[in-house]
Structure 1
Amino acid sequence: MKPTKMRNQMIYQSTYTTKSKQLGSALSKDLQKKYGKRSVRVVEGDSIKIVRGEFKGVDGKISKISTQKSSVAVEGIKKEATKGEKYDVYIHTSNLVVTSLNGEDKWRIAKLEGKDPSNQPKTAPKSETVKEVPKETKVADKVKKEEDEK
C-alpha cells in the first residue's frame, strides 16, 4: 500500500482513542524551557495563541474540543451565518501554540514535570469547604420563613 494512502488511513479512519491522542499542540518557548517538552495535548481552559490561518495572532481560551475534527473552539471567535446566527469556528490544533496551561488536573501537570503522577491527587482540592448543616436546622429555618411570610 502506498505511504500516502496508509497515512490517510491512520489519520482519517483512526479509532476514537487514537484520534483523541492526536489533539496535541505546540508549547510556547517559556513553557518548553519549564517542562522540557515541545508539545502537549490540549484541554479545555488552556490559553492559546493562533499562529496560522484566518485568525492569526488571536489569543484566547479553549472552550470546546472536537475529537472528530481534531480541532478546538476558542472563546470569542465566532462567525456569522447568512441568517444572522453566530457559530463557533473550529481551529486545528496544529495551528495553535499553548501559552498557559489549565492547572486543575494535577495528574497532567505531574506528567509534564516528569514526576510520578500516581503520588499526585487527580484534581485540585476545593478551596471552600462545605459545612454540613444538620437537617433539624434546615426544617426549622423553613418553618421560620413561612411564619415570617404570614
Structure 2
Amino acid sequence: MRKTFSKFWVASKQPRKQRKYRYNAPSHIRHSMLSAHLQKGLRKELGRRSMALKKGDEVEIRRGEFRGRRGAVSAVDMKRLKILIEGIKRKKVSGQDIQVPIDPSNVVIVKVNLEDKKRKKIISRKTPETKQ
C-alpha cells in the first residue's frame, strides 16, 4: 500500500484506507474535511448547504457531551481535523482547564464570520441569482 497521497483515489469501503486517505491528505483537501452544515435559515440566505469552518464562526454543538452549547470557533486544528470552541472546556487531573477538540461533523454553523474578503467572494460566487 502506497504511503503518499493519491489525488486519483476514488473510494474504498475498507476503514484502513479511509483513515489513510484522511491522514495523508494535503492541506487544501484537509480544509474541505473541516466543513459543517449551515443552520436552515443560513442555508436559504447563502444558497448552500455547508461551509468550511473558520476561526470566528459561531457554531452549535449537536452531538456528544456538550450537545446544545453554542460558541465561537477559537481555533481550527488542520493536523487532527478538529475544532476548538470558546467556552467548551474540561479539567485535567492537575486541575488545569483545557479546550476540548470537537469533530466538525458534530456541529452546525449558526453565524458565519464574513470578515475575510476571500470568503465573501466565495459566498457571492455560490449564491443563486434572484429572478426579477
Name the TM-score class by shorter chain. Answer: 0.7 to 0.9
Match of residue 96, structure 1, among 97, 103, 107? 107
The match for 1:20 among 31, 54, 64 is: 31
Please tell me whether Structure 1 or Structure 2 has the larger radius of gyration of its CA atoms: 1
Greater relative contact order structure (CA < 8 Å, 6+ sep): 2
What residue ranges of structure 2 are gaps of 5+ in the alignment?
A: 2-11, 127-132
Q: Displacement, 1:86?
A: 0.8
Which amino acid in structure 2 is aligned with residue 100 of structure 1?
A: K
TM-score normalized with structure 2 length: 0.80
C-alpha displacement of 1:9: 1.9
For residues 60 and 23 of structure 1, the distance between their equivalents in structure 2, rounded to whole angstroms, comes to: 17
Q: CA deviation at 1:97?
A: 0.3
SS of the residue corresponding to residue 7 of structure 1 reads helix
Query: What does residue range 1-150 of structure 1 map to in structure 2 within 5 Å?
Result: 3-4=13-14, 5-114=16-125
Identity across matched positions, percent: 31
Distance 1:67 1:34 in 2: 28
Deviations 1:37-75 (A, max 9, x none): 110001000000000011000010000110112111111
Name the Cα RMSD after superposition. 1.6
Structure 1 Cα separation of the partners of residues 31 and 125 of structure 2: 22
TM-score, normalised via structure 1 length:
0.71
Higher relative helix content: 1
